[in-house]
Amino acid sequence: MPLKNIALENESAAKRTVIMLFFSHKNIIIVLFGGKNMFFVLDGKKLIKRVIFFVCGIFCFLTAVNVIKPDAAAVSADTSKTAYVAIVIDDFGYDGEGTDSMIALNIPFTAAVMPFSDKSYENVSKLQSAGKEMILHMPMESLTGKREWVGEKGIFKSMSDEEIKQRVQEALAVVTPAKGINNHMGSAIMEDERCFSAVMDVAAQKGLLFIDSMTTANTVAEAVCQKKGVPLLKRDVFLDSTEDINVVKKQLLTTAEIAKEKGYALAIGHVGPEGGNITAEAIKQMAPQLEQQGIVFVTVSQLAEILSK
Ligand SMILES: [Zn+2]
C-alpha cells in the first residue's frame, strides 16, 4: 500500500490537472487527473526507464567528446600519483615453508636472509639465480623473545662495539648480494643507541640501507641513521602471522591504501610458520588486482632511490 502520497497541482485558466504519485515498495504509479473528468494512468517504471535511457545517452555523448579531446592536466595528475609498494619477506635462510613459492613470485620484492642458518648459502644462491634482491636479516637480541630464536651468533647487548661490527661483517660475507640490513627480532638492540650505532657503522661503510621493522616504539633507528648517513625505511604493515589467507589479502589492501595516500608503503611478510605458502599465495592472487589499481611493486633499494630524488 502507498507509503507516500504526493499531489502536485497545476492550475491554468481553462482546466485543472492534478498529478498524483503513488509509491509503494514494488511499483510507482503516476495518475494524471485532467480536466473534463479525464484521467490517465501511467506506468511509472516505464517512464523512469525512458528518463534513465535519455540521461545515459547524454552522459555517453559527453564521455565520447572527452575521450576524443583528453584533458592534458588530468593525464599528468595521474602519473604524479604513482603508488609504490615494497614488500620485504623475512626469514629466508633455513628453507622455511613457502621458500620456493615465494621465490617464484613474478613481482619485484626483497628477500631478507638470515646469515647463520643451516640453508643460508643455499637460499642466497637460489634467490640470486631467480634475480631477487636481498638484504641481511640480522638476528638481534629481543626484549621479549627467547635467546634461541636469535641464535648464538646474533647481536647481543653484552657485546663490545668491535664484536658487533665483526659479527655484522661476518654475516654480510654470507649474504654477499645484500643491499641493506633489517632486524630479526631485535627490540633490545633497536632501543640501544650504542649497539645499533655499531651495526650502522658497518652499513654506512658498505653503503647499505636499513629497514626498521618497528618492533619497538622506542627505536633509535631514525636518530642513528640520520647521524651515520644511512638511508632508512620503516615498515608500515605486517602482512601475516595468521592461518587465514583472507587476513593477508586484507593486509595487502591496507598496504595499497597507505601507498595511495602517501605515495609508497613498505610491508613485511615471512617464509616459515608465520606466513609461508599462505603469504606467497595471497601476494600471487592480489598482485594483478593491485597493479590494475595503479600500484607499482618495487624492491627496497628501488624505493630508497625513488625517495632520495
Ligand atoms: Zn625474522
Q: What is the pLDDT of residue 56?
A: 46
If you measure from the C-alpha of residue 202 to the centroid of ligand 1, how many angstroms do you get, rounded to a whole number? 20
Return the C-alpha torsion angle 22, 25, 27, 28, nearest 10.
Answer: 30
Q: What is the pLDDT of residue 49?
A: 62
If you measure from the C-alpha of residue 189 to the centroid of ligand 1, how many angstroms do you get, rounded to a whole number? 14
Per DSSP, 37 falls in state: T
Note whether residue 76 is domain-resident. Answer: no
Q: Under 8 Å CB-to-CB from 157, ≥6 apart: which residues? A: 141, 188, 189, 192, 195
If you measure from the C-alpha of residue 44 to the centroid of ligand 1, how many angstroms do you get, rounded to a whole number? 64
* Shared domain check, 129 and 47: no
Q: What distance in Å separates the CA atoms of residue 294 and residue 73, rounded to the nearest whole number? A: 18
Q: What is the pLDDT of residue 55?
A: 52
Note whether residue 257 is domain-resident. Answer: yes
Q: What distance in Å separates the CA atoms of residue 155 and residue 26, rounded to the nearest whole number? A: 71
* Shared domain check, 148 and 37: no
Q: What distance in Å separates the CA atoms of residue 157 and residue 147, rounded to the nearest whole number? A: 12
Alpha-carbon distances, residue 265 vs 268, 273, 295, 297 (angstroms): 10, 24, 10, 10
Q: What is the pLDDT of residue 148?
A: 84
Burial degree of 298 (CB within 10 A; 0-12, 13-18, 19+)? buried
Q: What is the pLDDT of residue 168?
A: 98
Question: 138 with 183: CB under 8 angstroms?
Answer: yes
* Shared domain check, 25 and 65: yes
* Shared domain check, 42 and 167: no
The CATH number given to whatever domain includes residue 290 is: 3.20.20.370
- Of 69, 103, 125, the position where a domain reaches its end is 69
If you measure from the C-alpha of residue 90 to the centroid of ligand 1, how many angstroms do you get, rounded to a whole number? 5
If you measure from the C-alpha of residue 284 to the centroid of ligand 1, how many angstroms do you get, rounded to a whole number? 22
Residue 21, SS3?
strand
Number of domains in the chain: 2
Note whether residue 29 is domain-resident. Answer: yes
- Beta strands (DSSP E) in the chain are 4-11, 16-23, 28-33, 39-43, 83-92, 110-113, 133-140, 180-185, 209-212, 232-234, 237-238, 264-270, 295-298
Q: What distance in Å separates the CA atoms of residue 96 and residue 92, rounded to the nearest whole number? A: 7
Note whether residue 78 is domain-resident. Answer: no
Domain that holds residue 45: 4-69
If you measure from the C-alpha of residue 180 to the centroid of ligand 1, how many angstroms do you get, rounded to a whole number? 15
If you measure from the C-alpha of residue 103 to the centroid of ligand 1, how many angstroms do you get, rounded to a whole number? 17
- Of 38, 69, 100, the position where a domain reaches its end is 69
Q: What is the pLDDT of residue 145?
A: 82
Q: What is the pLDDT of residue 132?
A: 98
Note whether residue 75 is domain-resident. Answer: no
If you measure from the C-alpha of residue 83 to the centroid of ligand 1, how many angstroms do you get, rounded to a whole number? 26
Count CB atoms within 10 A of the CB of residue 191.
18
* Shared domain check, 160 and 36: no
This prediction has a pTM of 0.74
User: Residue 17's beta-bridge partner residues?
Assistant: 10
Q: What is the pLDDT of residue 43?
A: 59
* Shared domain check, 90 and 30: no
- Of 47, 69, 91, the position where a domain reaches its end is 69
Q: What is the pLDDT of residue 165?
A: 98
Residues with CB under 5 A from ligand 1 (ion): 90-91, 184
* Shared domain check, 63 and 105: no
If you measure from the C-alpha of residue 219 to the centroid of ligand 1, how many angstroms do you get, rounded to a whole number? 17
* Shared domain check, 101 and 9: no
Q: What distance in Å separates the CA atoms of residue 23 and residue 28, rounded to the nearest whole number? A: 5
Note whether residue 214 is domain-resident. Answer: yes
* Shared domain check, 215 and 166: yes
Q: What distance in Å separates the CA atoms of residue 28 and residue 45, rounded to the nearest whole number? A: 6
- How confident is the chain (309 residues) per 10-residue block, as mean pLDDT? 38 41 49 46 57 50 42 41 95 97 97 97 98 97 89 95 98 98 96 98 98 94 97 97 95 98 97 96 98 97 95
* Shared domain check, 271 and 145: yes
* Shared domain check, 215 and 239: yes
Question: 86 with 234: CB under 8 angstroms?
Answer: no
Burial degree of 291 (CB within 10 A; 0-12, 13-18, 19+)? middle
If you measure from the C-alpha of residue 185 to the centroid of ligand 1, how many angstroms do you get, rounded to a whole number? 6
* Shared domain check, 31 and 109: no
